[in-house]
Amino acid sequence: MLVNKLGEFGLIERIKKTIKTDESVVKGIGDDCAVIKLDKYNYGLFTCDMLVESVDFKPQDEPYLIGRKAVAVSMSDIAACGGLPRYCLVSLGIPKDTSVDKIDKIFYGIRSLSRIFKTNIVGGDISSSPVLTIDVSMLGIVEKKRLVLRNGAARGDMIFVTGRLGDSISGRHLKFIPRIKEARFLVENFKVNAMIDISDGFAQDLGHILKESNVGAIIYEDLLPKYRKSTSLESMLYGGEDYELLFTLPIGEAKKLLSSKLSIFTPVGHITHNRFDLRLIDRKCRVKKIPFRGFRHF
Amino acid sequence: MLVNKLGEFGLIERIKKTIKTDESVVKGIGDDCAVIKLDKYNYGLFTCDMLVESVDFKPQDEPYLIGRKAVAVSMSDIAACGGLPRYCLVSLGIPKDTSVDKIDKIFYGIRSLSRIFKTNIVGGDISSSPVLTIDVSMLGIVEKKRLVLRNGAARGDMIFVTGRLGDSISGRHLKFIPRIKEARFLVENFKVNAMIDISDGFAQDLGHILKESNVGAIIYEDLLPKYRKSTSLESMLYGGEDYELLFTLPIGEAKKLLSSKLSIFTPVGHITHNRFDLRLIDRKCRVKKIPFRGFRHF
């Protein structure tokens, strides 16, 4: 069988089954970050993301933005667990005819975001490769009591997203600001039950929360925050790379957040019994079952 | 200018100059691992290595051995700093027509070594890529008092290597056992002044120690441990991927190690004033200046 047929998540499930970890690992494969014991008050968050030319960015994209995105996607994973990024390594696979100027610009992008979010670039690796490949691994930190995973969503929770959804792939995916500050505001002030970043599409990533938490959800088309007036429902539900936070709050906490009137957080639905799966209530008040579809590498 | 012209180490130097780190970073870019503050007694060791098909392994190499090597090279970096590997992430770039069976075998290789050295596989990333690419990032631990870097070699130190040198590229580079146990034996029982793993060739990697420590060295052709009877001096000095440890001990410690009669450790020369650079005394007692040459990606 080819990986094409098994699919990305099938492959991850298959790998996950073969792997055991010791008691120092709080959460291994299957969340935005791995969570490891660090000290009395803190956990370590460990994550990596590989960007490949012509898959995650185009050859003609600005090198500055490619570098920026390479760290931003890992920071977004740290944010989704409620933590702060601290250290990163950059592995670069570089075609031999690449200009030094291009590498300078990629690192300019990497440094710019690292500086904003106080993340130390501490090392990496350089290899030759037929296509430009950047893998950033990141180590972050989160207070034990503030860690948020995908598996805590409970019936009755309200579902929120940050920012706006859809049309990211037309350019925004290279320029987004990882929601570190928003995530910290949430975990420092609210009891967040579950959180994920929307990297593979709203429906698919909400699907991860539902599956891990063994619950269902209802969302409302009217509530979904469109990026542009012309943004389609299709693009909001299934478009990849929004890098917004998707999270659930118990109703009391949700009310508190709503009363803060911060326009960055939009309620989009609520968590239900798991037999509901994922349903959308559309403009005409029709209920539709929504597939957990989105971007997949295979 | 193309990266081809600047060269791998020129590129690393160039990147290094632009990067600042905070006081929690004990050692950033430029050693086998990054060293970060962890707690009162321990440092964290953070490293990554990217393997690319047709560069670091052949398409027809056994997938089990490819996976094994992918973790072994990072473990070798942790060993070179005197530490123990603890957690790793695996980023995979996979061509779409790869068989699931091949990925299974790669992970079988990854798991086999991880189990031996008690390293938790805690996550990773999967991307599609035109060539098979594996980037392993690893987090290890070392007691503060046992950390060894490249910069501690002192005049009068004896230089040692583990195992045997040369001819690794014909196959051994896929099967080597990272010298974790030997490194721990050394740092637990001796005062090791400087250490590195030989990944890019003996002369080049000894060059890194000399440069970082601002010293020179004399080595003896007769003492260099050949992998095979037929192994050439060229292959021992400049062949890449031996993954043996190269380290220096003050003379008293060296005597202690020599009296232990452990055949795995071979003395090959000693550290001198930096105006000596690197010199080889050959079979006919002629002194030759040796270039810091070895494997480079560009």
pLDDT in tens, B23-35: 999 999 999 999 9
Q: Give the pLDDT confidence score for residue A294 in this predicted structure.
A: 84
pLDDT at A276 over 90: no
- Confidence band, pLDDT 50/70/90 cuts, at residue B294: confident
Chain A residues touching B109 at Cβ < 8 A = none
- Pairing relationship of beta strands A194-197 and A265-272 according to DSSP bridges: unpaired
Give kind and range of the element (H or E) at residue A233: helix A233-238
Chain A residues touching B111 at Cβ < 8 A = 18-19
| Nearest CA-CA partner of B186 in B260, B295, B270 | B260
Is B127 in Cβ contact with A56 (below 8 Å)?
yes
How high does pLDDT run on average in chain B?
96
With the C-alpha atoms ordered B91, B97, B103, B105, is the resulting torsion angle positive or negative?
A: negative
Write out pLDDT tens, residues A7-22: 888 999 999 999 999 9
In angstroms, rounded to a whole number, what is the distance separating the alpha carbons of residues B109 and B66?
A: 7
Query: B92 near B54, Cβ under 8 Å?
Result: no
pLDDT at B195 over 90: yes
Mutate to test the interface with B, among A35, A76, A129 (most CBs of B within 10 A): A129
Q: Give the pLDDT confidence score for residue B159 in this predicted structure.
A: 98
| Nearest CA-CA partner of B86 in B111, B112, B114, B119 | B119
**The two three-digit tokens of residue A201, written as one number:** 């599409």
Q: What average pLDDT does this structure show over A176-199?
A: 98
3-class DSSP assignment, residue A16: helix
pLDDT at B280 over 90: yes
Q: Does ipTM surpass 0.90 in this model?
A: yes
Q: Give the pLDDT confidence score for residue B116 in this predicted structure.
A: 97
Q: What average pLDDT does this structure show over A38-66?
A: 96
Q: Give the pLDDT confidence score for residue A53 in this predicted structure.
A: 97
pLDDT at A247 over 90: yes
Chain B residues touching A36 at Cβ < 8 A = 86-87, 120, 122, 139
- Amino acid present at B193: N
Is B21 in Cβ contact with A297 (below 8 Å)?
no
Q: Which domains does chain A have, with CATH numbers?
A: 17-145 (3.30.1330.10), 148-289 (3.90.650.10)
In angstroms, rounded to a whole number, what is the distance separating the alpha carbons of residues B136 and B148?
A: 22
Q: Give the pLDDT confidence score for residue A298 in this predicted structure.
A: 82
Q: Give the pLDDT confidence score for residue B105 in this predicted structure.
A: 98
Chain B residues touching A22 at Cβ < 8 A = 118, 120
In angstroms, rounded to a whole number, what is the distance separating the alpha carbons of residues A265 and A263?
A: 5
pLDDT at A295 over 90: no
- Confidence band, pLDDT 50/70/90 cuts, at residue B298: confident
In angstroms, rounded to a whole number, what is the distance separating the alpha carbons of residues A125 and A106?
A: 15
pLDDT at A238 over 90: yes
CA dist list (Å): B79 to A213, B99, B184, B187: 40, 33, 8, 10
pLDDT at A296 over 90: no
Q: What average pLDDT does this structure show over A109-135?
A: 97
3-class DSSP assignment, residue A155: coil
Mutate to test the interface with A, among B21, B56, B106, B133 (most CBs of A within 10 A): B133
Query: A205 near A197, Cβ under 8 Å?
Result: yes
Q: Give the pLDDT confidence score for residue A208 in this predicted structure.
A: 96
**The two three-digit tokens of residue A83, written as one number:** 């933590």
Q: What average pLDDT does this structure show over A54-64?
A: 96
Q: Which residue of B has its CA nearest to A106?
A: B15
- Confidence band, pLDDT 50/70/90 cuts, at residue B101: very high
Of A293 and B22, which is predicted with more confidence? B22
Edge-first strand order for the sheet with B265-272 is: B194-197, B245-249, B158-162, B265-272, B216-220, B278-281, B287-289
For tokens 């008690």, what's the residue?
A: B118
**Number of residues in chain A:** 298
Cα radius of gyration (chain A): 19
Q: Give the pLDDT confidence score for residue B295 in this predicted structure.
A: 84
Chain A residues touching B128 at Cβ < 8 A = 52, 55, 297-298
Q: What average pLDDT does this structure show over A215-243?
A: 96
Write out pLDDT tens, residues B237-273: 999 899 999 999 999 999 999 999 999 999 999 999 9
Is B298 in Cβ contact with A96 (below 8 Å)?
yes
Q: Secondary structure of chain B in the HEC alphabet?
A: CEHHHHCHHHHHHHHHHCCCCCCCEEECCCCCCEEEECCCCEEEEEEEEEEEECCCECCCCCHHHHHHHHHHHHHHHHHHCCCEEEEEEEEEEECCCCEHHHHHHHHHHHHHHHHHCCCEEEEEEEEECCCCEEEEEEEEEEEHHHCCCCCCCCCCCEEEEECCECCHHHCHHHCCCCCHHHHHHHHHHCCCCEEEECCCCHHHHHHHHHHHHCCEEEEEHHHCCECCCCCCHHHHHHCCCCCCEEEEECHHHHHHHHHCCCCCEEEEEEEECHHHCEEEECCCCCEEECCCCCCCCC
Quote the Cα angle for B117-B121-B135, to 5°.
Answer: 100
